Each structure stands twice: as structure tokens, then as C-alpha cells.
Amino acid sequence: MDARTIIQSLTGAFSEAISEAEVESPVRIRAYVDGSFAKEVCQYLKDSLQFDHLCSVCGVDYPKRNELEVVYHIASYDHPVVLTLKARLPRDSPEIESIVPVYWNANWYERETYELYGIMFKNHPNLKPLVLPEEMLGEWPLRKDYEGFPNRTARNLV
């Protein structure tokens, strides 16, 4: 399955939810997805386009645009194409539907993104901190305006 077919299939099925889809190289595709459709798009990718392997879920902070982005890297065990699916969220109340029902291993990635960026994943089965202590919750350390690094560490907080 090549990159162009995948893009056509994806934009054809979700003409309103998918935007700025582009082929970066024969094995890399990029697209933006409307946050409220993320789960449906992932389900379609898994069922119809052989994207059965979730590489990672992560957040990126863009303070200038006052936005947070959730970035999904979805790949396949059969073909080498990796899809970078991004969803823009407002910085003050970031919320998106969890994709754990589609990709089981999104669980820990979403927990990590939640504790580092404060992005709420709705209907996540167990949304609590993974690598940070409970006391750090609400600090959102990977946001660009976090001032704790490197002077305030977990030890000073406890």
C-alpha cells in the first residue's frame, strides 16, 4: 500500500475531519485531524488501511499559537508507511477523546501525555500519572512556560 492511496482513502472517508494532508516521502504521511473525530479516524485506519501498530502518542506545545498538539504516530506491521496524525487543541482547556479502545497500547502514552502536558483524554480507563509523582500533577512540566526546570525538582516539592 503506497502513501498516495492511503491519503486518498483517508481524505475520501473523512473529508471534513482531515485537513492539510500531505505526502512527505514514500514512507511518511502527515495530516491534521479534527480532535472530535480522532477515535473514528483511528478506527478506520486500523480496520481498512492496515495501520495496526501505534508507535507513539505525544504532545507538543506551541505557546506562540496558544495551542497544544497531540501527535499520533501510526504505523503498520505489514507496510512501511508511518502516518503522523496531529490534532490541534486550545491551550487553556485541552481535551480529546481517548483512543485506548482502538489501540490498546495507547494507554500509557496517553497517561504520560496527560501528566506532562495536562491534556485530558476523555473516557480513558485509568488516567493518572505514570512517571511523575502525584505532587507534580498540575505543573505540566513539558509545557514551554514551565519554570521549574532545572531549579525545582520533585524533591523540593515533596
Partner 1 sequence: MEEMLGSNEMIVHLGPQHPMQPGPFRLNLRLKGETVMDAEVELGFIHKGIEKILENKTYLQGITIVDRICYLVALTNEECFVGCVEKLAGIEVPERAQYIRVIVEELSRLQSHLLGMGEYGEFIGFVSMFMYTIKEREDILTLIDMVTGARVTHTFLKFGGVRDDLPEGFKEKALPVLNNLKRVIDDYEEMFNTDRIYRERAEGVGILTADVAKSLGVSGPALRATGVPFDIRKNEPYLVYKDLDFKVCTDTAGDCAARVRVRLNEMRESIYIIEQCLDRIPGGPIFPVNSPYGRRTPVMRVPAGEVFHRVEDPRGEMGMYMVSDGTDKPHRVKVRGPYFPTLQALPPLIKGTTVADVAAISGSMDGCTSEADR
Quick one: residue 25, left, alpha or beta (phi over 0 = left, psi -120 to 50 = alpha)? beta
Closer CB to partner 1, residue 13 or residue 71? 71
Of 13 and 142, CB closest to partner 1: 142
**Residue from the set 13, 23, 58, 127 that interacts with partner 1 by CB under 8 A:** 58
3-class state of residue 124 by DSSP: coil
Task: Yes or no: say if 97 and 36 are a contact pair by the CB < 8 Å rule.
Answer: yes
Q: Which of residues 94-123 bind partner 1 (CB under 8 A)?
A: 103-105, 107-108, 116
**Residue with Cβ nearer partner 1 (73 or 88):** 73
User: Smallest distance from the beta carbon of 36 to partner 1, in angstroms?
Assistant: 23
Out of 50, 56, 88, 101, which residue is the one contacting partner 1 (CB under 8 A)? 56
- How far apart, in whole angstroms, are the C-alpha atoms of residue 6 and residue 58? 23
CB of 102 to partner 1, least distance (A): 10
In the chain, alpha helices (H): 3-13, 38-48, 106-117, 154-157
- How is residue 100 written as a grid cell? 485506548
Q: Which residue has the cell 504521511?
A: 29
Judged by CB under 8 A, which of 15, 20, 66, 77 binds partner 1?
Answer: 77
Q: Give the separation between CA 16 and CA 26, rounded to whole angstroms.
A: 25
Q: Residue count at the site for partner 1 (CB under 8 A)?
A: 31
Distance between CA atoms of 148 and 46, rounded to whole angstroms?
39
Residues that bind partner 1 (CB under 8 A): 27-28, 52-56, 58, 60-61, 71, 73, 77, 80, 82, 84, 103-105, 107-108, 116, 129-133, 141-142, 149-150
